[in-house]
């Protein structure tokens, strides 16, 4: 386990800048199927009920969000970890 890395990450309960999210999202290759535009993704994440962004210094390296109906159901979606940070912990 890389404890130094875990200690250096900062978690923020906020949406990242859309350009940062766009770059991170494109590391997944999901957009090969979805064909989203940056505007589509901006609209999608702005509708999140909750979001958590992970930063290494000022670099966005992880993101996850929850969408919910506010009463009964909530779904964890879009869990993304930059490939360079996967399996490091």
In order along its 89 residues, the chain shows pLDDT tens digits of 465 666 789 999 999 999 999 999 999 999 999 999 999 999 999 999 999 999 999 999 999 999 999 999 999 999 999 999 998 65
Helix axes 38-46, 18-25, angle to 10 degrees: 110
In this prediction, residue 6 carries a pLDDT of 61
Q: How far apart are CA 44 and CA 60, in angstroms?
A: 18
In this prediction, residue 1 carries a pLDDT of 46
The reported pTM is: 0.87
CA distances from residue 88 to 5, 27, 29 in whole angstroms, order as listed = 8, 17, 20
């Amino acid at each position: 386990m890389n404890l130094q890395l875990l200690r250096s990450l900062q978690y923020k309960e906020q949406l990242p800048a859309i350009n940062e999210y766009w770059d991170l999202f494109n590391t997944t290759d999901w957009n090969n199927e979805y064909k989203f535009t940056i505007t589509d993704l901006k609209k999608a994440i702005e509708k999140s009920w909750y979001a958590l962004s992970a930063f290494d210094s000022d670099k966005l390296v992880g993101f996850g969000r929850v969408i919910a109906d506010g009463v009964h159901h909530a779904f964890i979606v879009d869990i993304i970890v930059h490939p360079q940070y996967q399996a490091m912990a």
